[in-house]
Structures are given as C-alpha cells and as structure tokens.
Amino acid sequence: MRTTVAALVGAVLLTGGLAACSSETPSSAPQAPEIKPVAETAVAEPAASGDQPKGLTYDVKRIPLGAKLSAGSSVENGQTTVELKVSGLLPNTKYGSHVHTKPCGAKPADSGPHYQNDKDPVTPSVDPKFANAENEIWLDFTTDAQGAATGKARVKWEFRKGEANAVIIHATHSSTEHGKAGTAGDRLACLTAQF
C-alpha cells in the first residue's frame, strides 16, 4: 500500500512540476497578423460586354482558364500585408504581380496603374523613387511544379479607401532598373479585389 501511495504522490508531483514548467515559458514570438480574404475566384475570359467576371485571363496559354486566384490583406499598427495565392498556372514559371487602382475590365489596361502610397506625378510611373516595393504592393512569385505559388508583401502604410481595386499578374518579375522600374511585362490576368 505504501508503494502505491508513494507512486501516486510521485506522479502528482511530477505532473504538477511539468505543468508548472510549461506555464512558465509562454511563447513570446510575435503573432503574424491574420490575413483576411478580399477576393477569390477561378479565372474566365473577358465578357464581350457588360459586367466582367471577378477573375480574368487575358492570355489563356500563360494563365489557363480555371486557374485560381485568391487575395487577402491585413492591417496592423499602420502596416499593411497583402497576400496572393495562385494555382493552376504554368509550372516553375516566374510571374510579376502588383495591386492596381481600378477593377478588372475587358482590356488589360482597364485596371489602371499600380497603386502607389506616394503618387508619381508622371504616368506611367517608371521612376524607382515611386515605382518600388516600399511604395507599391509587389507580389512577384515563381510557381512550383504544380503551378501553385504565394506572393506576399508588407509595407509601412495603409491603402487609401477606394483607391486599390485589383491585383494584376504580369509576364515577368518586376524590374528595378531606372526608366523601367515597376514594369513586369504584359498583363496576363486580373483579379478584382477591393482593399
């Protein structure tokens, strides 16, 4: 009987000791802000007229019909995080991506210029002072073997209400070269996403 009681007391002390140990070391790692969904859809071809689908492909060879695009964002302490997830694209391929000012339209140019925190007085903006990853949202990515990828950007500002309305996928990663800054080739697809 004494052995059983001693074993029981030992087990209780051991369990209590472990609980005390685990409660003394809380995780102090900062939590990443939760990304809230903004828009998600499979891409379609532009409509001949009228309202356009939320997700459009302008190049079915490089962004196939049915490819999925999903955008989300979060704001915390004056900083904005934007995330783009894609699937069904060409495998092992580099793409550029930016947030643009207008919703998607039947033509690639309908989504307007890149959203900029500090607006370049010259359009199109190719001055690296304005066209850069700190003043715009650049979501460049390279797809994996299955054609999926995630692009993420974090900036030290918040969107102006109503001025950021789409995510465009471009043909190449964004250039940082003077006179070409922010350019990323043809507009291949568009996701209407109001941030």
DSSP codes joined into one string, 86-129? EESS-TT-EEEEEEESS---SSGGGG-SB--SS--SSSS---TT
Q: Would you call 147 helix, strand, or coil by DSSP? A: coil
The predicted model scores a pTM of 0.82
Please tell me the distance from the alpha carbon of residue 80 to that of residue 14, in angstroms, as a whole number: 46
What mean pLDDT is reported for the chain? 88
What's the token pair of residue 37? 């969904």
Quick: pLDDT tens for 59-100. Answer: 999 999 999 999 999 999 999 999 999 999 999 999 999 999
Q: What's the pLDDT at 33?
A: 72
Q: What's the pLDDT at 166?
A: 98
Q: Amino acid letter at 1?
A: M
Please tell me the distance from the alpha carbon of residue 68 to that of residue 66, in angstroms, as a whole number: 6
Q: What's the pLDDT at 31?
A: 62
Q: How far is CA 52 from CA 7, 105, 111, 121, in A?
A: 72, 6, 12, 30
Question: In the chain, how many H helices and how many E strands?
Answer: 1, 9
